[in-house]
Amino acid sequence: MATSIRERTIAENSMVVLLQGLQGEVTTVDLRNESTARGRVVSVDAFMNIRLADVLYQDRRGQLTRLQDLFVTGRNVRYVHIPDHVDIMKTIQNQLSKIHRVRNFEAGAEGSDSLHSAANNMTEKQPAG
C-alpha cells in the first residue's frame, strides 16, 4: 500500500507499526461502541483506520452478521487483539525496516542521507559482480 512520507513518519513513531504488521492475520477488533469485528487484516494506516475482510461482526446486542469487507475508522477502535502466535518485537522490527527501506529507496537517487542508511544499503544488497 503506497504511503505518504507523513504517514510513514507517523507510523514509525507510534505503535501503529505493530498493527500494520498484522496484515494477513485474522484477529478481533473491539470497537468503541461495544461491538466487535473479527476478520482478516487487509490494511492498517497511520491513523489506525483498519480494513478487514471476511468479517464476523457482533453488535452491542450480541447479534452476529457476516460482512465481506469492513473499514473502521481509527477513532472508533478500542482494542485490537494481537494473535498469540505473533512475535510482537519481530513484527515491529520488520515493519520499521520496511519503512527504512522505502525511505532509502526514495532517497537513493540523490544519495543516502546519512552514513547509517548507507551502511544499511551495503549490508542488505549484494555487491555488483
Q: What are the residues binding other proteins (CB under 8 A)?
A: 5-6, 8-10, 13-14, 31-34, 37, 45-47, 49, 51, 55, 57, 60, 64-76, 103, 113-116
C-alpha cell at 61: 446486542
Which among 83, 18, 9, 5 is positioned nearest to 50, based on CA atoms? 18
Q: How far is the CB of 94 from other proteins (least distance, A)?
A: 19
Q: How far is the CB of 52 from other proteins (least distance, A)?
A: 9
Closest CB to other proteins among residues 71, 83 = 71
Closest CB to other proteins among residues 11, 22 = 11
Closest CB to other proteins among residues 45, 91 = 45
d(CA 35, CA 52): 15
Q: How far is the CB of 118 from other proteins (least distance, A)?
A: 11
Closest CB to other proteins among residues 6, 85 = 6
